[in-house]
Structure 1
Amino acid sequence: MAAAPLTDGAGFTRSYEDALAAAWERWCLRQERLRSAAGHGAGRADEPGLRYVELLLKKGMREEACDRLRGLVGQEPENTAAGYLLAVLRGEDGFPEEAAGLLLRVLSQDPQHVKALNALGTALRQLRQVEQAEACYRNALGLDPSFQQARINLALLLKEGGRLTEAEEELDRGVACDAASVPLRYNLANVLQAQGRSLDAIEAYRAVLRLDPDHLDARQNMLFALHYAPRFGRRLIFAEHLKAARTRPFRPAPGSMATASRPRGGRVRIGYVSPDFRQHSVASFIEPVIREHDRALFEVFCYANLPRADRATERLQGLAEHWRDIHGIPDAQAAAMIAADGIDILVDLAGHTSGNRLPLFALRPAPLQVTWIGYPDTTGLKAIDVRITDAIADPPGEEERYHSERLVRLPRVFCCYLPLDAAPPVTPPPCLETGRVTFGSFNNLAKVTPEVIALWSRVLHAVPGSGMLVKAQPLGDAGVRRRILALFEAQGIMPGRIELDAGQPTSQEHLAQYRRVDIALDTFPYNGTTTTCEALWMGVPVITLAGDHHASRTGATLLTSCGLADMVTTSEAQYVEMARRVAADTGTLASFRSDARQRLQRSPLLDATGVTRELEVVLRDLYAEMRAERE
């Protein structure tokens, strides 16, 4: 039965709002007619019209607001305030060319409109007109040095272009003028992290958190950065994760929990939540699992938190039975969507990495919630029940005390890897042609700490005449290059023995660079994961140093699963000696390459079907156990 008008609260409120909006529009039109009749130009009749636009935007009527603004822009004299607002909205809607045209018209009327200059820079940046965008931001700052949004946008532009030192300098100038600015300090911390300066970045993130303890991105970036430096122990890192879990983003409001149950029976509904269903390292590990899931037992949902799709996205979308785009959707709404789908097991694939949706897990949209693959540590959240790992990455009895989740171990290896289809062929080791051994690392530069460089330098001293290729995107910045070379030089390794490479634009070109490397040296205490798999697929042996937690034991579990446990070392002395021994045997290096891909194809690491079945057994047992406990 339909609700009576008097008791239909929602319907009455909408009718009331519509009536108010109609009355407001009539009043605005009347004021415009009165001002026009009084001899004022249409350009001066903007205030009531813009107020009405503001009302439309508050009601979510964006298209109507844009139409209204177009009418105001078309008046004579031109309404610059309306033109600026329309340009901002069109830029946000993904029409930067239209936005740029509107902003140029605004600036022709008011060349010192600093907000329009800043917005034009953003539109030009979207149009990939980088030099013109930079000029706009600098012009805005020239007019108003205190306009910090233009400074942040300029720094982001410089960071995107690999000009990290300039970005840092720009943000330093901003902080010097406004030390209490959270956005300036947060962006400065990100630039420091991008340079690979984890300790400096951690201090910068802490400065942000002193100003804003609930700044989720700063806290999660800091948690991730703590894993790079050897000085931070397990107890401290765990305490920081628990502290993060107590902050406001992870505390659901009363009555906001989204859990929905469904009757027992039918297939288990499993949902994967990730920002990395795209050309990303995580996709290389989740794609084979989604493809191999037993559809007679599992119904697969993917919840994608990414702004733009690519070819990898399209491929993954084709593998999932159900695809949900949750980018830009508030946590409560996304959690309600997941609950409405009747998900039995919800799997986080990001942890505290960029783009994660951990706060929606705090709303409990599924009865069993799991974290896996994307983060090398605990989430710290009580709402996450289980973390999937293996016995080498997280040895039983040692790691449980540093996890808020229950650790459940797959029997062989915690993940499976999908090599790139278009990977170039394996080539002979370059030392056979050059006459000298080249060590290499293609890891994230944040993992290349002073301690790592000190150990690599010991390796280079132990193998006379050898060289080192370090490849990472930040090395395109001259300041970053100088810092890395100085760290090697401080250890007695001259720049002539070190080659720094800023990377290549495509995955195929990236993998092809392994033809320049004889032996890969892993980083510590944060090992490589994707880079280790890629090196092995390209026929390059990897030497790793195993530590006491997952991030520092990933190399050990990957190499062991491939039958290469002898490449796993447990001390710096062993690491140097292993590198010296492998470098001395060029014949073994050549034979290693010839059998590299067959070795991996026989290993658990590439056994997608087997690892997926092992995962399914674990998940079904956990789900049955959870149901039994609740009944």
Structure 2
Amino acid sequence: MTAEHSPQGQAQLKYVELLLRKGMQEEARARLDELVRQEPPVAAACYLLAVLKGEDGQAQEAADLLARTLGLEPENTKALNALGGALRQLGQLERAAAAFAEALRIEPGFGEARINLALLLKEALRFTEAEALLREGVRLDPGSLRLTYNLANVLHAQGRSLDAVAAYRETLRLDPDHLDARQNLLFALHYAPQFTRRAIYAEHLKAARSRPFRPAHRQELSRPHPGGRIRVGYLSPDFRGHAVASFIEPVLAQHDRDRFEIFCYANVATPDATTARLQGLCDQWRDIHGMADHNAAALIAGDGIDILIDLAGHTAGSRLPVFCHRPAPIQVTWIGYPDTTGLKEMDYRITDALADPPGTDDRLHSEWLLRLPRTFCCYHPPAEAPELAPPPSSQNGHITFGSFNNLAKVTPEVIALWSRVLHAVKDSRLLLKAKPLADQGVRRRILDQFREQGVAAERIDLDQGQPGTREHLEQYQRVDIGLDTFPYNGTTTTCEALWMGVPVISFSGDRHCSRTGASLLTNCGLADLVTKSEAAFVDMARQVAHDRETLREFRAGARERMRRSPLLDAAGVTRELETALAELWATSRRP
């Protein structure tokens, strides 16, 4: 009989578990240390101590203890799964994957190990393998919430919006209160043209009525009496190397500190250099990552915020439930999400008349639309951007169209229209750049869709992208003309393309995400590149492609054109924003 299975060993382990339940960590660790030092050591003690070490961030010590556990119990699947987690923290990804895979070989129904392996594959951009792994898990356990949700995320990451929507709906059938699934569903609906504006609006209202957006307990929030400068709080998970930072940084830098006191509420899991830079552009910085919604709301109310501005909407890491506690008298959403929040507690959404023309758009928002005079955003070009180069067609003799958009925006309908462009412009090529294209299965799917439209694979260049900003922007030197996506236009990608001297042809539709291209291009004096039908899109692409001299002139003057545009007028746009915010505040204080 081993020490572990002896009556004394069992009693000691039960005593340790009792200590842990009572929160007596130090004494529990001391007992576990004794059991681990025994010869032979107690396997369960090795495992329990490893778990505690892992919780303390001591990944190497945890991995060593788990290796000892497996030396005693080679088929302990919990230990294999935990070892995979420790190795992942240590950056030993191949060994981590092997540990997860071994746990699944022994116990195919071990959902946690399956999800951990799938997440590892997803991070490595091996989406096809991750999908197959999760589908097998769902087959084995059809009612698994976590397997279904992770499958939805893998489908969405591949750009398969319709499949992802179905999987998110199934997740919500299993758990109607799953906040992340609810918000991911709302975001995914915008990518495919099959969903009407009214249907999407109805989904937002439905989400707003769900439990995650209805605080379990209402609290009386104490606010200081207003006075002095108007206190504006910006709340975002994207105060980091993220697209949203490119649009909020110039505003933070230009705010009039004599009239406004600026607070930033950061829900940032992993701060970076951008985080540090943004932190220096506000008066007060608050880290709310990991903070409960009601506590974050109490903090904001305690800071006496007059106007609280959400920068994320229904995107990853957003804290919309905080707004449901009403921590500020005026609450606004802006930049990070292309639609209504659906929340009655959100008072306004900032936009412009090009992205959201008066009329139907007002009726399909739970917020009042606050339209800035020129543009709904301003852009901060990356300092790392390389110098402009001549269009590639001046050297290789053929036109290269390009899109660096999120692959979820590249729907079958988009591919069909782009194929018509390629047919219309002889010898032209198309460069697609997106991270999921590292996966061979994803590449095959995209190329097959072009083949179905009569476009040979040789005319399509697929690029998985580059890690650095400069390297990413250098790839625009391979593109003559940018092709926008629809119904979800590019925003950051369009700004980047224009800054790199690449004209972008956009197809304008019936909703904000379909008209960001119209807003950006019109504000840069390029309204002619905005089209309103598929035929006009193809014709415009043909016209621009055939005028090589204008392409060269466009690229040479691109940055000066943008510098003169409202899009780069950070001071002017910020003054317009401040005028709007000051009027909101003055109106709210009138009897």
2:101 is matched with 138
2:277 is matched with 315
1:618 is matched with 580
Larger Rg: 1
Q: Is the 8 A contact 1:258 1:339 kept in 2?
A: no
| TM-superposition CA deviations, 1:577-597 (whole Å, max 9, x none) | 000000001110001011111
| 2: CA distance, partners of 1:65 / 1:285 | 51
Deviation at 1:98, TM superposition (A): 2.5
Deviation at 1:334, TM superposition (A): 1.2
Instruction: Give matches, 1:66-465, under 5 Å.
Output: 69-70=32-33, 73-74=36-37, 77-254=40-217, 256-257=218-219, 259-465=221-427
Deviation at 1:73, TM superposition (A): 4.0
Deviation at 1:44, TM superposition (A): 5.1
| 2: CA distance, partners of 1:216 / 1:557 | 31
Deviation at 1:93, TM superposition (A): 3.7
1:6 is matched with none
Q: Is the 8 A contact 1:43 1:75 kept in 2?
A: no
1:478 is matched with 440
Deviation at 1:268, TM superposition (A): 1.2
Residue 282 of structure 1 aligns to a residue whose secondary structure is helix
| TM-superposition CA deviations, 1:37-72 (whole Å, max 9, x none) | xx965675121122111220xxxx767765665565
Q: Is the 8 A contact 1:270 1:300 kept in 2?
A: yes
Instruction: Return closer, same or farther for 1:394/1:122 CA change in 2, 3 Å cut-off.
Output: same
- Aligned partner of 2:22 among 32, 36, 55: 55
| 1: CA distance, partners of 2:517 / 2:448 | 28
User: Aligned letter for 2:162?
Assistant: L
| TM-score calculated relative to the size of structure 1 | 0.91
| 1: CA distance, partners of 2:77 / 2:11 | 21
- Aligned partner of 1:518 among 456, 480, 484: 480
| TM-score calculated relative to the size of structure 2 | 0.97
Instruction: Return closer, same or farther for 1:231/1:63 CA change in 2, 3 Å cut-off.
Output: farther
| 2: CA distance, partners of 1:292 / 1:159 | 39
Residue 360 of structure 2 aligns to a residue whose secondary structure is coil
Structure 1, unmatched stretches of 5+, are 1-35
| 1: CA distance, partners of 2:437 / 2:27 | 48
Residue 167 of structure 1 aligns to a residue whose secondary structure is helix
Deviation at 1:258, TM superposition (A): 5.1
Instruction: Return closer, same or farther for 1:257/1:393 CA change in 2, 3 Å cut-off.
Output: farther
- Aligned identity (percent) is 65
Deviation at 1:128, TM superposition (A): 1.8
Deviation at 1:110, TM superposition (A): 1.9
User: Aligned letter for 2:303?
Assistant: D
Q: Is the 8 A contact 2:223 2:303 kept in 1?
A: no
Residue 595 of structure 1 aligns to a residue whose secondary structure is helix
| 1: CA distance, partners of 2:254 / 2:395 | 42
Deviation at 1:99, TM superposition (A): 2.0
| 1: CA distance, partners of 2:401 / 2:533 | 19
Instruction: Return closer, same or farther for 1:106/1:224 CA change in 2, 3 Å cut-off.
Output: same
| TM-superposition CA deviations, 1:248-273 (whole Å, max 9, x none) | 0011124x235333223111111111
| 2: CA distance, partners of 1:66 / 1:510 | 49
Structure 2, unmatched stretches of 5+, are none
Instruction: Return closer, same or farther for 1:167/1:570 CA change in 2, 3 Å cut-off.
Output: same
| 2: CA distance, partners of 1:68 / 1:564 | 72
| TM-superposition CA deviations, 1:189-216 (whole Å, max 9, x none) | 1010011000011011111111111111
Residue 155 of structure 2 aligns to a residue whose secondary structure is helix
Q: Between 583-592 and 302-311, report the one with greater CA deviation.
A: 302-311
| TM-superposition CA deviations, 1:402-456 (whole Å, max 9, x none) | 0000100110100010010011111100000000000000000000000000000
Q: Is the 8 A contact 1:42 1:75 kept in 2?
A: no
| TM-superposition CA deviations, 1:6-36 (whole Å, max 9, x none) | xxxxxxxxxxxxxxxxxxxxxxxxxxxxxx9
| 2: CA distance, partners of 1:349 / 1:169 | 35
2:12 is matched with 45
Q: Is the 8 A contact 1:276 1:283 kept in 2?
A: yes
| TM-superposition CA deviations, 1:234-261 (whole Å, max 9, x none) | 100000000000000011124x235333
Q: Is the 8 A contact 2:19 2:25 kept in 1?
A: no
| 2: CA distance, partners of 1:63 / 1:399 | 59
Instruction: Give matches, 1:522-541, under 5 Å.
Output: 522-541=484-503
Deviation at 1:290, TM superposition (A): 1.0
Q: Between 101-110 and 567-576, report the one with greater CA deviation.
A: 101-110
Deviation at 1:124, TM superposition (A): 1.1
User: Aligned letter for 1:132?
Assistant: R
Instruction: Return closer, same or farther for 1:459/1:109 CA change in 2, 3 Å cut-off.
Output: same
| 1: CA distance, partners of 2:236 / 2:374 | 24
| TM-superposition CA deviations, 1:470-516 (whole Å, max 9, x none) | 01000011110000001111111000100000111111110000000
Q: Is the 8 A contact 2:518 2:527 kept in 1?
A: yes
| 2: CA distance, partners of 1:374 / 1:238 | 17
| 1: CA distance, partners of 2:330 / 2:147 | 39
Instruction: Return closer, same or farther for 1:86/1:601 CA change in 2, 3 Å cut-off.
Output: farther
| 1: CA distance, partners of 2:152 / 2:445 | 18
Deviation at 1:91, TM superposition (A): 2.6
Residue 493 of structure 1 aligns to a residue whose secondary structure is coil
| 2: CA distance, partners of 1:533 / 1:195 | 24
Q: Is the 8 A contact 1:369 1:384 kept in 2?
A: yes
